[in-house]
Structure 1
Amino acid sequence: MGESTVGGDRPLVIDPFDAVPGLAPLRDAAWDGDWVATRAFFEKIPSAEAEDASFAATLLAGVERTEWFLEKAAKAEPADPLPRTLLAERYIHLGWRARGRGLAKDVPWDQAELFQDWLHKAERLLIEVCAEHPAYVPAWTARLATARGLSLGQSEARRRYDRLAEHHPHHVEAQSRLLQQLCPKWGGSWEVAHAFAGECASAAPDGSHAGVLVAEAHIEHFIDLEGAQATEYLRNISVRDELHRAARASVLHPDHPRDWHWTGDHSTFALAFSLGGHLTDAAPHFAALGDTASESFWRYLPDWKSRFTEYRTAASAML
Structure 2
Amino acid sequence: MTDNICWIIPPGIFIRTFHSLLTVGIFTALCVTDTDLNHAYQKGQWLYLSAYLLLLILTSIFYFISCLLDPGYLPKQQYQVRKRTISLSSSSESSDEDEDEASRGEDARMLRKSKRSPTAVKLRKCPICKIEQPVRTKHCEDCQRCVRKYDHHCPWLENCVGERNHRYFWIFLLLQSALILWTVRITWGGFTSQTTFTDWLHSNAIFTLVLLILLVAAMVVISLLCCHSFMLFNNQTTWEFMSRHRITYLKNLDESYNPFHEGYLKNCVKFFFYCPYQKWEVMVEKYCTPSGGIV
Common topology (TM > 0.5): no
- Answer 1 or 2: which has greater helix percent: 1
Q: TM-score, normalised by structure 1?
A: 0.22
Q: RCO greater where, 1 or 2, for CA within 8 Å and sep 6 or more?
A: 2
- Answer 1 or 2: which has greater strand percent: 2
